[in-house]
Amino acid sequence: MKLTGKIWNILSGRVARNILFWLCMLYTFLSLNINNAAHSGYNFNSRWYWYVHTVTLVLYLTVIYTNNLLLVPKYLVNKKRVEYFLLFVPMCLVAGLIQTCVIRLGISHFDANDMQQIGGASTVVEAEWTAYNIISNAIQYGIWGYLLWAVAFIMAWYMQDYSRQRRLAEAAEKKQIETELHFLKSQINPHFLFNTLNNLYGLTLRKHDDAPESILKLSSILRYLLYESNTPSVSFAAEKQIIQAYIDLELLRLKNVQGLNFHVEADSNYSIPPLLWLPVLENVFKHGTRYIADGHYADFSFTIRNNVLSITSTNSYKATANGHNKEGGIGMANLQKRLLLLYAGRYTMSESKTEDTYSINIQIELS
């Protein structure tokens, strides 16, 4: 497997791709000539025949790589288009002129049989070295030969550069998302710790017997927050365990409370981002439980079925006279940002509020 990967890395390199391309070009050229020879019964053994094609191939190599390695990076990339074309077009015409001279020189050395077999006249064609013929052929070879090939390579270069820039942009965007997610996750810990310490403070003021146990449970939860959740994803089983630990911690201060219902299950052990549930469950305990003593209720559900993660909560609610009884807060705003970064276009999040009930419903397509 490692050897295959190394071979692929070598073959996918720029130099290797160029070598493979020109080998394919050479193979095509030889195949066409051998095929023509097989059908015509002619053996192309004229030295000048091969001289002409060799020089032509060298000219193509020179024009294309001078363009790709020198002119494009120095002028075209730096938006010096006028300077680029003032150098590029004459270079193609000069190459066309050289090819014209070489072809005419080669033709002058072909005999009648050579010309007949390669599709020329039955008698020796005397090359006419007139200025018009030379210039017209030079333009023909320069424009239709070298110029078009170079343009094709420029387009390929731009496509490759566009692909590279796009990969860099995607990598930068991914890095930015990871950085923002890390920042958002880092906000969870102090927010959770702030709320929990307030609860512990109340227990210690009353010299409650459960204060030491609360500290131990908090310690185990913080260990999970600091170490096990410091990854892009965790198992559902691990999340279920820490949810139960958090519920147990909160219930230590809510002795003999009725009307609290929790439901956590999945049809498989999925891998999910850690702590998506925490702001919702915090909201239940922070706001919903204050009305439990009046016979009201609070429900929380964290389930996964058929690759759909559902986080829902419903708790009793009473609006205050001044209207400042605000559910959610920092934790819910943090959750919304995380969901947008992780599951853009693949989740729904809705909040509803009546005179006596506050509900949150989050549906996430995991894959």
Q: What is the pLDDT of residue 113?
A: 59
* 355 within domain boundaries: yes
HEC per residue, 176-225: HHHHHHHHHHHHHHHHHHHHHHHHHHHHHHCCCCCHHHHHHHHHHHHHHH
* Inside any domain, residue 187: no
Domain membership flag for residue 260:
yes
Looking at residue 302, its pLDDT comes to 96
pLDDT-derived band at 124 (thresholds 50, 70, 90) equals: very low
In a domain, 37, yes or no: yes
pLDDT in tens, 178-214: 666 666 666 555 656 666 676 666 666 666 666 677 7
Domain match, 16 and 93 both: yes
Instruction: With a cut of 50, say whether residue 77 has pLDDT above it.
Output: yes
pLDDT at 295: 59
Distances (CA, A) of 78 to 72, 73, 159, 166: 8, 7, 17, 19
On whether residue 178 sits in a domain, the answer given is no
Beta carbons of 90 and 101 less than 8 angstroms apart: no
Q: Tell me the β-bridge partners of 310.
A: 303, 363
pLDDT at res. 203: 62
- Residue of 133, 135, 115, 134 lying closest to 123 (CA atoms): 115
**Closest Cα partner for 136 from 102, 104, 97?**
97
Q: Is the pLDDT of residue 122 over 50?
A: no
pTM beyond 0.95: the answer is no
| Span 228-285, pLDDT tens digits | 777 888 999 999 998 988 888 888 767 666 778 899 999 988 999 988 898 898 888 8
CA distances from 198 to 40, 248, 254 (A): 96, 16, 14
Tens-digit pLDDT profile for residues 81-119: 889 888 888 888 888 888 888 877 777 776 655 555 554
Summarize pLDDT for 292-330 with one digit per residue, the tens. 555 567 889 999 999 999 999 988 776 654 544 554 567
Last residue of a domain, one of 170, 196, 224: 170
Which amino acid is located at 45 in the chain?
N
- Tell whether 152 and 232 lie within a shared domain: no
Among 145, 170, 195, the domain boundary falls at: 170
- 157 lies in the same domain as 249: no
pLDDT above 90 as % of the chain: 12
Q: What CATH number is attached to the domain comprising 278? A: 3.30.565.10
Domain that holds residue 111: 2-170
Q: How many domains does the chain have?
A: 2
d(CA 162, CA 147): 22
Residue 361 binned pLDDT confidence (cut-offs 50, 70, 90)? very high
Q: Are residues 162 and 254 in the same domain?
A: no
